Each structure stands twice: as structure tokens, then as C-alpha cells.
Amino acid sequence: MANRGMNAREFRRRLVAGSFRRYSRVSAAMLGLQFVQADPIRSPARAQDLILRQRVDGYHAGDLEKEYPELEVEEGFLFAYGFMTSDVWRNLRWRGTKGLSATERVVLEAVREIGEAHPRDLDERFGRKLVRNAWGGQSLATKRMLEELQDRGYLRVSRRRNGIRVYQVPEQTDEAAVDPRLRYSRLVLTTIHVFGPVEKSFLITELGHLNHMIPDRKKRVGVVDQLLDSGRLADINVEGSSYLWKEADWESEDVSSVVRFLSPFDPLVRDRQRFERLWGWRYRFEAYVPAAKRERGYYAMPLLWGEQVIGWVNAAIEGERLRLDTGFVGERPAGKGFRRAFEDEAEAMASFLGLESGAWEWTHRKSS
């Protein structure tokens, strides 16, 4: 399909307008979004809750975890770990060619016998040996093995107990036998559905967790090119940068003059290169940056006003009140319009966290 052109202003407006479709229930949101990234940090709430609160009417922190057992939703790793529809999860499932080790078979059989297994249930059976995890910390060996078995499709998360995954053996399916190129193409479309327009290089890199499906990078790129040739994807040139998109999903330019506190992992802002091109400043997630080197804060959330990301917000619950500390890349917007919109979002955030109306306070830094 021919590459069409668009200026950055129109592109930005379409991206913002299409990023916040509203849903009346969590179940409808998960069907519409297909994937929501998760993160364990709670500051002041987890990423999945911060993402859903911008899209689900009346959403409160923890609603997804509470409703999870009744939803047709799974947990797994697409471009990141998160919650996804059953269709997406089935396309992700794979069975390693090397098969299971003797220990893995024993653990899998133990989960099958228990029915629903918390990692602690297996610690009592197999001990509490520690191993180093992907983040450099220490995890129990059984917990890491359960995660690996889930990643390869041998286990699923049935629910969570106090935030900890509880596992069970899923029903057998033949999804792993489906042509890997077809499964990969479906997951490419899912990822673009989540992010909106993205560059091809970003897409291929983000889906690196799926390289086992098609080990040859040229063939992975070929799958994307076939989606373009078939018209299932289109490309668009935005002032010299080429993006892949499903144009029909991003036709509106209707942007509301509201303020939003966004999760650092919100699909609108997670592509940092796209972010910098569209909003003209560099944003990074600093939770893992030494405190002395942080520029904006441990969990600084991008601050969106209308179509512009104008700064960031650090939010913390102190006692029974929400403290909001803002910073701006330019001058703080003057006038009642911004203040009123900010206060509406602060009130909505307090309600989302289960705090009383008005239980928040706002301070701000000087422009950076």
C-alpha cells in the first residue's frame, strides 16, 4: 500500500484521540484493548490499574485483579508482561522443543494434583532454594520454575492471592501446532492495535520475546511486509518518520481539553522515541535510576493536557490524602481552564484510590 503523508500535528491529534476509548466495564475494556501491560510497582497504584482507569467508567484500583477469575483473560508476555484476551494468549502458547526436565515434570504434576497452586504450596513440597531472577534480585526456585512453565504454555494464572500468581494446568489446545508465521502475524496485529502507529524497527524489537516462533529476523520482517502487501496494515510518513498502522482505528482528531495522569507504561507514551518526536522532550522511567540521578521522580507520570504532554506528576498517598507534585517542561499553563481540568483529574485519581472527595493537595516545581 502506498505510503501517505501527514504532518506531526494531525498525527499527534489522531494518536491522542484514538488512545482513550471509553468502556463501561472491565470485561468490555479487555476485549477492546486486547492487552494491558502490568507492573508490580504501586505508586500510587499498579500500571495495569492506572492504564484502565483512563478507559473504564468508575474504575477503582484493584478491579482487574478482583474480577480476573470471571473474565476471559489470561496473563502472559507479549511485548511485556500483562493481561490479555484468551485469543492473544492462545497465539502466544508454545511448547519448547527440548521438552520438560524431570524436575519440571514433577512440578507440573504437583500443580495438576493440587488444582490451583500458590508458589508457597510448592515451597512446602520442594524446599525454598533461591535463584537470581531477571531483575537481579532473589526469587525462590519453584516460583521461577512456575513462571517459566507459564511462559511456555504449560501453566496459566487462574487468579492472584494478595498479588501473587496462583497457577493451574490449562486445557489442552492445538494452538502450538498452528503455523508460527500465522501466529506471529496475529501477534504483530495485536501489538499495533495496542500501541497505535509504530515504526517497523520498534515493532520487531518489542516482539523479541517471540523470536522463537521465527528465529530468522529477515523472515520476521517478511511477515510484517506481507501484512502491508495484503492491506491489513498501512504505512504513513510523518515528517520523515515512517509508521505502521491500521488507519481505520485512528481517524478521529477530536481531542478533549482534559488533564490525564498517565502510567509510564500507557500505550500512548511507552514508545519513548515516538514520544520525543511528538512532544519535543525526553521522558524516561526512573524507578530503577539511583535517587540522586533522577530528574523527575521515582514514578513520574506523564501529564497530558488536551493533545500535549506538558510535564509530569509524582503521586503519593500520605495518610488518607493524595499528594500530587508536578513539574513542567515549559511554563505552567495559566488560566482557569487548566487548573479546573487538573483539579478534576486529581479528584478522579483520589476516587480511584478509594480516598474521600477533596483528599488531595497539589504542589509544583518551577519549569525545567
- For residue 141, give the CATH number of its domain: 1.10.10
For residue 211, tell me if it sits in a domain.
no
Greatest mean pLDDT among 128-137, 246-255, 339-348:
339-348
The mean of the pLDDT values for the chain is 91
Q: Sort 151 into a burial class: Cβ within 10 Å, 0-12 / 13-18 / 19+.
A: middle
Domains contained in the chain, number? 2
Greatest mean pLDDT among 130-144, 162-176, 333-347:
333-347
For residue 58, tell me if it sits in a domain.
no
For residue 136, tell me if it sits in a domain.
yes
For residue 65, tell me if it sits in a domain.
no
> Residue 342 in contact with residue 314, Cβ under 8 Å?
no
Taking residues 25-49, report their average pLDDT: 97
The single residue listed with the C-alpha cell 539511583 is 290
* Domain finish residue from 168, 201, 228: 168
* Domain finish residue from 168, 197, 219: 168
Cβ-based neighbours of 10, under 8 Å, separated by 6 or more = 253
For residue 340, tell me if it sits in a domain.
yes
Is the pLDDT at 139 greater than 90? The verdict is no
- The tens digit of pLDDT for each residue in 184-238 reads 999 999 999 999 999 999 999 999 999 999 999 999 999 999 999 999 999 999 9
For the chain, the first-to-last Cα distance in angstroms comes to 43
Task: State pTM to two decimals.
Answer: 0.91
Mean pLDDT is lowest, of 205-209, 231-235, 245-249, 356-360, for 245-249
For residue 283, tell me if it sits in a domain.
yes
* Domain finish residue from 123, 150, 168: 168
For residue 223, tell me if it sits in a domain.
no
Amino acid letter, residue 42: R
For residue 317, tell me if it sits in a domain.
yes
Euclidean distance between CA atoms 204 and 103, whole angstroms: 34
CA 20 to chain centre: 14
Tell me which residue range forms the domain holding 145. 94-168
